[in-house]
Amino acid sequence: MIVALMIACSGPNATDSGSPSVDTGQPMEASCELGWNSWASGFFTTYCTSCHHPQSANRHGAPNGINFHTQNDALIHLDRVRVRVLNAQDMPLGGGVPLSDLQRLNEWVNCAEATP
């Protein structure tokens, strides 16, 4: 008797696995030295809003409604920012965020999560 135990576990849904995550070596307490105006706004403008902005001339396929031009928009998608930029590191498309900015983003996300 042949028992086939073929369990498909290698689907295309592997976005979050296999990529190195950012180890900042920092404790998990929120550091709130970085504010929206003082830092995060500039980060999202530099790395995200070329595609993720309601007035973007070419979103390059970025989903409508996923925008980062206001603090509120960024906060709504905070979980996904962590997953895509810090964990999977597949946003922004094309990469290019220096580690120092990833570390600051990590701090800002931690702070934003801790201060509802």
Give contact residues for ligand HEC (rule: CB under 6 A): 47-48, 50-52, 60-63, 66, 68, 77, 80-81, 84-85, 91-93
Min. distance of Cβ 86 from ligand HEC in angstroms? Answer: 9
16 with 66: CB under 8 angstroms?
no
Distance CA 103, CA 86 (A): 9
47 or 108: CB nearest ligand HEC = 47
Distance CA 113, CA 116 (A): 6
80 or 114: CB nearest ligand HEC = 80
Min. distance of Cβ 26 from ligand HEC in angstroms? Answer: 20
77 with 100: CB under 8 angstroms?
no
31 or 87: CB nearest ligand HEC = 87
29 or 85: CB nearest ligand HEC = 85
C-alpha closest to that of 108 among 49, 18, 50, 22: 22
Min. distance of Cβ 29 from ligand HEC in angstroms? Answer: 23
C-alpha closest to that of 43 among 114, 91, 76, 79: 91
